[in-house]
């Protein structure tokens, strides 16, 4: 047996005010769109803002459905919208924020596994890393320079 060790690095910011100005503005957009989430079942609202290399900002919020799992996470709403409307644009930066209607979220909340895989598809396709910032409702913000930090063993087309 051989041991494989994988390490990842993240930057941690104490709060949104410590972010670079451009990212702070992106996170503020994510916070605004989070309020548009349709989450009557989970009471867990997520907002995402994506900065594209063409200068556009694309937003998304989670959209639930009584016929679970027919809903869609905020990250995939935003990524798929960007891919549909701006198919040749690269995703540069993604800001994610999550809040619960039942308790305050104070720890950074990363994308779920399905969203990680969907983001990976775009990162691999565009051949450049996607910088990801994520937070709860308030408090610390984590930064990953690439989706690879969140999903080191990515499944992609080379396996098909």
Positions at the binding site: 62-68, 73, 112, 115
For residues 145-155, average pLDDT:
91
Give me 3's structure tokens.
Answer: 């041991």
pLDDT over 90 (residue 121): yes
Find out whether 35 and 46 touch, Cβ atoms under 8 Å.
no
pTM above 0.85, yes or no: yes
Q: Which residues are annotated as a binding site for substrate?
A: 62-68
pLDDT band at 159 (very low <50, low <70, confident <90, very high): confident
**pLDDT value of residue 153:** 87
Q: Is the pLDDT of residue 158 over 90?
A: no
pLDDT given at position 157: 83
Give residue 2's pLDDT band: very low, low, confident or very high (50, 70, 90).
very high
Domains of the chain (ranges plus CATH)? 19-152 (3.40.140.10)
The answer to whether the CB of 25 falls within 8 A of the CB of 16 is no
Q: pLDDT for 38-76, tens place per residue? A: 999 999 999 999 999 999 999 999 999 999 888 999 999
- Give catalytic status of residue 3 as yes or no: no
The yes-or-no verdict on residue 104 having pLDDT over 90 is yes
Cβ(92)–Cβ(131) below 8 Å = yes
Write down the pLDDT at residue 156. Answer: 84
- Binding site for Zn(2+), by residue number, is 73, 112, 115
Range 136-144 average pLDDT: 97
- Give the DSSP letter of residue 39: -
Question: Does 94 score more than 90 pLDDT?
Answer: yes
List the one residue out of 21, 10, 46, 35 whose CA is nearest residue 133. 10
Contact 107, 139 (CB under 8 A): yes
Give Cβ neighbours of residue 9 (< 8 Å, ≥ 6 apart).
145, 149
Residue tagged active-site, from 75, 121, 123, 145: 75
The pLDDT, as a whole number, for residue 118 is 95
Coil, helix or strand at residue 10? coil
Q: What is the mean pLDDT of residues 18-37?
A: 98
Residues 6+ apart with CB under 8 A from 82: 50, 52, 56, 58, 89, 91
The pLDDT, as a whole number, for residue 17 is: 97
């Amino acid at each position: 047996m051989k041991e494989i060790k994988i390490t990842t690095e993240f930057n941690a910011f104490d709060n949104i005010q410590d972010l670079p100005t451009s990212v702070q503005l992106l996170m503020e957009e994510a916070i605004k769109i989070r309020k548009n989430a349709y989450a009557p079942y989970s009471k867990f609202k997520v907002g995402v803002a994506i900065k594209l290399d063409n200068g556009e900002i694309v937003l998304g919020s989670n959209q639930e459905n009584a016929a679970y799992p027919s809903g869609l996470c905020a990250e995939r709403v935003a990524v798929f919208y960007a891919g549909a409307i701006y198919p040749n644009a690269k995703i540069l930066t993604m800001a994610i924020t999550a809040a619960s209607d039942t308790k305050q979220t104070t720890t950074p909340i990363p994308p779920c596994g399905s969203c990680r895989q969907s983001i990976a598809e775009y990162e691999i396709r565009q051949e450049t890393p996607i910088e990801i910032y994520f937070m709860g409702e308030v408090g610390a913000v984590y930064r990953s320079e690439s989706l690879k930090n969140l999903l080191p063993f990515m499944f992609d087309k080379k396996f098909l």
